Structure 1
C-alpha cells in the first residue's frame, strides 16, 4: 500500500496523471492502475476526474492526509533501522520560522554539511504556526519556531535567545532621540507580520506589556519586506537582532530606546512527542543546542 499512497499523493498534488507519472518515473497507465487498486482496496472512489482536472473527493482528502502521515512514519522507520547499521546519513526535513530560517539556519546547515556530508537536509520556511502543524503531521522531522505554543503531539524545547528591537529609518524623526515615549510610539504607523508569526506574537506581547496602543498598522508577510518598508520611511517595526545585523552595521536602519526594550524571547525546537529520533536528527539537534545565545552587540 505504500506505493499506492505515494502515487495518490503525487496525483493529488500535481492534479494531473501525466505530470504525476513523470515525477514518479512511471507510465501513465501504471499510475492509473495504482489508483484503481487503492480504490478497490478501500472500496470507494478517491478522485473526481474530467478533461480539465483531477482532484480529490471527500474520501480522497481523508486518505491523502492520513497517507502523508503514514509515509512519514514509514520513512522514519527506515531511517532508524538504517542508523543501526551505517554512519550518519539520510534525508532530514527541517522547518523554520522566517527569522531563524532566513538569517541563522543557513549557517547551521553549512556546519552540518561540513561535519556530516551524507546527511541531506530539505528546508521549509514558513511562520511558526504552520511549521508546528507540519511537525505534528510528520511532514517535517523538526521545526524551529518563535512561538510558545505546542500542540498535544509536540514537544517544545527553548534552545537559543533572541533580542528584538524597534527599528526606524535613519531619517525618521525619532531616530536620533536618546529615548522615545510610549505616546510617540502609539502615534506611529506600525508594520507587523501576519497572524501565526512568532514575530507578530512578540510585537503584540510588547504592545500589551508596555501599554502601547498603535493607532495605525500595516501587515506584511515577510521580514525582508518589512525592513525595506521601514528603511523607505513607511513606518516602524519590531524585528529580531538576527534580521537587522547587516543593516545596523551599514547604518541603513536605526534602533529606538525605550525602557523594557529590547524585547527578549526564545527560539524553540519542535519535535514529535514520544518519537524515536534518527541519528541525523540527533546530530542536527546537538548542533542547534550548542548555539545558546546571541553574539555580543557591535
Structure 2
C-alpha cells in the first residue's frame, strides 16, 4: 500500500503518468497498474483522466492529503528504528517563521553541520500559522515560531526571548527628535506590518492594544526583507526583531525610535507533534537549547 500511495502522490503532483513514471524510474504501464490497484482498494476513481491532463477529483484530493501524512509517518517510523543503532543521520525537516528562520537558523544549521555532517536538513520558511500547520500535518519534523501561538494537538515550548524595536529611516522626523516623542507621534506615522498569521504581526497588534493607539495608516507586506527595505526608503516605520536589524543598525541604514516607556518582547518556541524523536531531531533540539538564546544576543 505504501508504494501505491507513493506512486499516486507523484502522479497527482506531476499531473501526468509519463512524467511520474520517469521520476520514479518505472514504466508508464507499471504506474497505471499501481493507480488502478489503489482505486480498486478505495472502491472509487481518484483521478480525472484526459489526453491532456490528469487531475485529482474530490475523492483523490482526500486520498492525496492523507497519503502525504501516511508516507511522512512511515518515513519517520523507519528513521526511529534506524536511530536505535546508528549515529545521528538522515533528513531533518525544519520549519521556521521569518525572523528566526532567515536570520538565526542558518547559523545554527552551520554549527549542526560541523558536529553532525550526516544529518541533511531541509528548511521551510513561513509565517507562524503556516509552520504550525505543516507540523500538525506531519510535513515538518519541527517548527520554530514566534509569539503566543497555541494548538490543542501540538507541543509548543519557549526556548528563547526575543527583544523587538520600533525602527525607521535615519531621516525620519521621529529619529531626528531629541526627546518628547508621544504615542500620537507614532499614531500619525505609516506602519508597515506583516500579514495576519505572522508572529511579528501579533506583536505589533499587542503593541497597539497595550498602549491604546491605532495608526492612521497601515501597509501590509508579506516579507521581512521587503519591510526593512521599505522602512529604509522612508515609506514608514515598523516593529521588528532586534536580530533582524543587526546589520542595518550597525551600518546606519535603520535607526531605532527610542521611547523609554515602551518595550516589546516575545518568545521563540519549538513546535512538535510526535512524542518520538529521531537522533537528528534530538541533537537539533539540544543545539537550540544550548545556542538558540545566545545567537539572539
With normalisation by structure 2, the TM-score equals: 0.96
Q: Equivalent residue for 2:143?
A: 143
Q: CA deviation at 1:293?
A: 3.1
Q: Equivalent residue for 2:64?
A: 64
* Pair 37,295 (structure 1): closer, same or farther in 2 beyond 3 Å: closer
Q: Equivalent residue for 2:115?
A: 115
| Conserved 8 A contact 2:128-2:149 | no
| Conserved 8 A contact 1:161-1:294 | no
| Conserved 8 A contact 1:91-1:119 | yes
SS in 2 for 1:171: coil
Q: Equivalent residue for 1:263?
A: 264
| Conserved 8 A contact 2:104-2:295 | no
Q: Equivalent residue for 2:13?
A: 13
| Conserved 8 A contact 1:166-1:262 | no
Residues 45-84 of structure 1: pairs in structure 2 closer than 5 A? 45-84=45-84
| Conserved 8 A contact 2:243-2:296 | no
Gaps of 5+ in 2: none
Q: Equivalent residue for 1:35?
A: 35
Q: CA deviation at 1:294?
A: 5.2
Q: CA deviation at 1:53?
A: 2.4
| Conserved 8 A contact 2:83-2:278 | yes
Q: Equivalent residue for 1:242?
A: 243
Q: Equivalent residue for 2:221?
A: 220
Per-residue Cα deviation, 1:43-101 (whole angstroms, up to 9, x for no partner) = 11011122332221111111111111111111111001001111111111100001111
User: How many angstroms apart in 2 are the aligned matches of 1:245 and 1:267?
Assistant: 18
Runs of 4+ in 1 over 6 A off after TM superposition: none
| Conserved 8 A contact 1:132-1:150 | no
| Conserved 8 A contact 1:95-1:140 | yes
Q: CA deviation at 1:30?
A: 1.9
User: How many angstroms apart in 2 are the aligned matches of 1:21 and 1:260?
Assistant: 63
Q: CA deviation at 1:222?
A: 0.2
Q: Equivalent residue for 1:184?
A: 185
User: How many angstroms apart in 2 are the aligned matches of 1:236 and 1:47?
Assistant: 50
Per-residue Cα deviation, 1:194-218 (whole angstroms, up to 9, x for no partner) = 1111111110111101112011011
How many pairs were matched up? 296
Q: Equivalent residue for 1:103?
A: 103
Q: Equivalent residue for 2:24?
A: 24
User: How many angstroms apart in 2 are the aligned matches of 1:25 and 1:107?
Assistant: 37
